[in-house]
Amino acid sequence: ISKFKEGFCGVCIAQSQKIPREPRPGEFDKIIKRLLETPNARAVIMFANEDDIRRILEAAKKINQSGHFLWIGSDSWGSKISPVYQQEEIAEGAVTILPKRASIDERIARDSSYEQEGKVQFVIDAVYSMAYALHNMHKDLCPGYIGLCPRMSTIDGKELLSYIRAVNFNGSAGTPVTFNENGDAPGRYDIFQYQINNKSTEYKIIGHWTNQLHLNVEDMQWANREHTHPASVCSLPCKPGERKKTVKGVPCCWHCERCEGYNYQVDELTCELCPLDQRPNVNRTGCQLIPIIKLEWHSPWAVVPVFIAILGIIATTFVIVTFVRYNDTPIVRASGRELSYVLLTGIFLCYSITFLMIAAPDTVICSFRRIFLGLGMCFSYAALLTKTNRIHRIFEQGKKSVTAPKFISPASQLVITFSLISLQLLGVFVWFAVDPPHIIIDYGEQRTLDPENARGVLKCDISDLSLICSLGYSILLMVTCTVYAIKTRGVPETFNEAKPIGFTMYTTCIIWLAFIPIFFGTAQSAEKMYIQTTTLTVSMSLSASVSLGMLYMPKVYIIIFHPEQNVQKRKRSFKAVVTAATMQSKLIQKGNGRPNGEVKSELCESLETNTCQSLYATYGRQLC
């Protein structure tokens, strides 16, 4: 029993109940109820006298448990009728044992009908065992001596026991009689099963034990005349992907726990976590590689940005071709041709970055992303910043003196613009040196709670912080340009491009203020790769579209559909420009306390009539 409690030979005991020596009324009912607490453990091995066996069967019959318990009885049950009398159905299928009996043809008298009881053979073998042990001891201790020698007169019991355990002879049944180290003779048993056939009952021999089990399974019969083997387990086997959590002290009883999350079943008792690049298979008995994904061209997240970028590139190309064709016309020249081409290059790059952001990552693509991600915006806002700064300096200088400010020539403007752009390129090259571009597979970005939906994301090794730092310089240029646009907002519309630039920068700031929360707010989303890439590319395309639409489409419209307006105006000297700026300032300062028109008349009296009338129309051309 102690071996079974340890799970010996795959058999263990779910529970053990003791029958009191003097059981009280209802004691056997309690025992049956306790046995039913483990309903899957149906086999009951009973070491009890036949009266207790009968009362156990009665208690089971009382609560109608026929066919539930699988009774296994010791030799105290054997093939006796008294334990199963009037409770045959509850005892059906019981397996019992009896020591194997041999037929001994010995009688008390020749004509007597009395037959010896079957266990007499064991008494005979016991007597012979003692005799052989004494005989062997006498041979060893008293060789050649008749009768007991002095050596055997004071015999030690332990010494005699060693001779008893060493005997080996054929017993009365013709089988060898030996003893093991514990003094036990080899077991020889007949195995019976209590069966009911056609309302008749019998103990049928279904096998025997002689050093090993010999069982005729096909002869066994269970309740309802079934020959299928009934199950008696404390716990049912766990399904694939489930581990056993054993009950303390009961090795054959366990609870099945599913290997959850990214764990898989290593053995029947253990779950382990799959490697980072793997997930459990369908039945969680092993791990398999996590599929790798990237943003595909046919994805809706890519189709929309690509469509916008293609339209933007076509529009930008159309503007560039128009400006090149009408390069020497007044509107193109008045727009500042040099900076216009720089700005249009930046707009073109802003649209083109969409294709690099969606293309399948590799080392070359990752390198181009680093270079051009902020370069297009840098081209655009460096040119606009240079323009707005020039306008601001000219009007500020005009309030103080008639001397033209420094660095307002086209060549100077280009030097300033490319100096600003070179800082962006310098930062990119430092980034290349510190952290060379390469691709990674990010298994954490789409590591969902359900492993079936887990994906590895193939992407460039550019963190969100690195991306914002790359755009940070361009955003700084954008903010500075917006500040200058605000400072020059009071300049008359006919003088320059200050107001269109201002509207462009205000709209661009709104776009990027919306971009930041969307970009960082989706950092924990399973769709992070799609949302962030789409948001970034669309934001850059919208910024480029705002600049293209507000600064160049009106000019292209005039060039193509109203060429009569694309004519040269009268030129004025810088002195006239400065005078106009001074007039503007004084008008603003004095206009609040005078009737309408008085201030303008007063100022115009000191100027030539033609100057006062045409100054506003010509100033913008000189300024640009």
**pLDDT computed for residue 571 by the predictor:** 54
Residue 495: which pLDDT band, with cuts at 50, 70 and 90?
Answer: low
**pLDDT computed for residue 532 by the predictor:** 86
**pLDDT computed for residue 51 by the predictor:** 92
Residue 369 lies in a domain: yes
**pLDDT computed for residue 598 by the predictor:** 44
Domains: count for the chain: 4
**pLDDT computed for residue 312 by the predictor:** 95
pLDDT at 580 over 60: no
Average pLDDT over residues 107-113: 60
**pLDDT computed for residue 493 by the predictor:** 54
Average pLDDT over residues 136-164: 86
Query: Distance between CA atoms of 231 and 566, rounded to whole angstroms?
Result: 100
Cβ neighbors of 428 (< 8 A, separation 6 or more) are 370, 371, 374, 375, 470
Tell whether 170 and 217 lie within a shared domain: no
Out of 98-112, 265-279, 383-397, 430-444, least confident range: 98-112
**pLDDT computed for residue 8 by the predictor:** 54
Tell whether 208 and 346 lie within a shared domain: no
10 burial level (CB within 10 Å; 0-12, 13-18, 19+)? exposed
pLDDT at 129 over 50: yes
Nearest residue to 320 (alpha-carbon basis) of 566, 501, 548: 548
- What CATH number is associated with residue 315? 1.20.1070
Query: Which residue did the predictor score with more confidence, 507 or 399?
Result: 507
Residue 107 lies in a domain: no
Query: Distance between CA atoms of 171 and 115, rounded to whole angstroms?
Result: 19
**pLDDT computed for residue 6 by the predictor:** 55
As a whole number, the mean pLDDT across the chain is 82
Could you give the percent of the chain with pLDDT greater than 90? 31
Residue 256 lies in a domain: yes
Tell whether 266 and 389 lie within a shared domain: no
> Letter for the amino acid at 104?
I
- Residue that terminates a domain, selected from 129, 152, 174: 174
Determine what percent of the chain falls in helix, strand and coil, rounding each to the nearest 5. 50, 15, 35
pLDDT at 266 over 60: yes
> Letter for the amino acid at 321?
V
Query: Which residue did the predictor score with more confidence, 494 or 470?
Result: 470
Token match 């962006």: residue? 424
Collapse the DSSP code of 542 into the 3-class scheme (helix H, G, I; strand E, B; otherwise coil) and give the result: helix
What phi, psi does 283 have (nearest 5°)? -95, 10
Residue 433 lies in a domain: yes
Tell whether 79 and 133 lie within a shared domain: no
**pLDDT computed for residue 2 by the predictor:** 61
**pLDDT computed for residue 623 by the predictor:** 40
Return the DSSP state at 356: H
Q: What string of H, E and C letters represents the secondary structure of 221-259? A: CCHHHCCCCCCCCCCCCCCCCEEEEEECCEEEEEEEEEC
Tell whether 263 and 130 lie within a shared domain: no
Q: How far is CA 25 from CA 18, 31, 464, in A?
A: 15, 12, 79
Are 519 and 532 in contact by the 8 Å Cβ rule? The answer is: yes
pLDDT at 559 over 50: yes
Instruction: Find the helix or strand (DSSP H, E) in which 99 lies.
Output: strand 95-99
Average pLDDT over residues 524-542: 86
Chain-centre distance for alpha carbon 286: 15
Residue 594 lies in a domain: no
Average pLDDT over residues 360-381: 91
Tell whether 418 and 396 lie within a shared domain: yes
**pLDDT computed for residue 105 by the predictor:** 58
**pLDDT computed for residue 111 by the predictor:** 64
Tell whether 145 and 195 lie within a shared domain: no
Tell whether 541 and 405 lie within a shared domain: yes
Output the six-digit token pair for 56.
């156990």
Residue 109 lies in a domain: no
pLDDT at 620 over 50: no
Average pLDDT over residues 24-48: 89
Residue 27: which pLDDT band, with cuts at 50, 70 and 90?
Answer: very high
Residue 409 lies in a domain: yes
- Residue that terminates a domain, selected from 174, 195, 211: 174
Tell whether 357 and 504 lie within a shared domain: yes
Are 470 and 373 in contact by the 8 Å Cβ rule? The answer is: yes
Out of 322-336, 483-497, 572-586, least confident range: 572-586
Return the DSSP state at 219: G
- What CATH number is associated with residue 73? 3.40.50.2300
Query: Which residue did the predictor score with more confidence, 40 or 524?
Result: 40
Parent domain of 123? 117-174
Out of 336-350, 381-395, 411-425, least confident range: 381-395
- Residue that terminates a domain, selected from 568, 590, 614: 568
Query: Which residue did the predictor score with more confidence, 524 or 90?
Result: 90
Query: Distance between CA atoms of 36 and 5, rounded to whole angstroms?
Result: 19
**pLDDT computed for residue 117 by the predictor:** 65
Token match 């093991």: residue? 180
Query: Distance between CA atoms of 202 and 118, rounded to whole angstroms?
Result: 19
Tell whether 271 and 380 lie within a shared domain: no
pLDDT at 216 over 60: yes
Residue 615 lies in a domain: no
Are 305 and 354 in contact by the 8 Å Cβ rule? The answer is: yes
Helices marked H in 435-552 — which ranges?
A: 464-487, 498-521, 528-551
Tell whether 330 and 433 lie within a shared domain: yes
Residue 107: which pLDDT band, with cuts at 50, 70 and 90?
Answer: low
Tell whether 226 and 157 lie within a shared domain: no
Residue 9: which pLDDT band, with cuts at 50, 70 and 90?
Answer: low
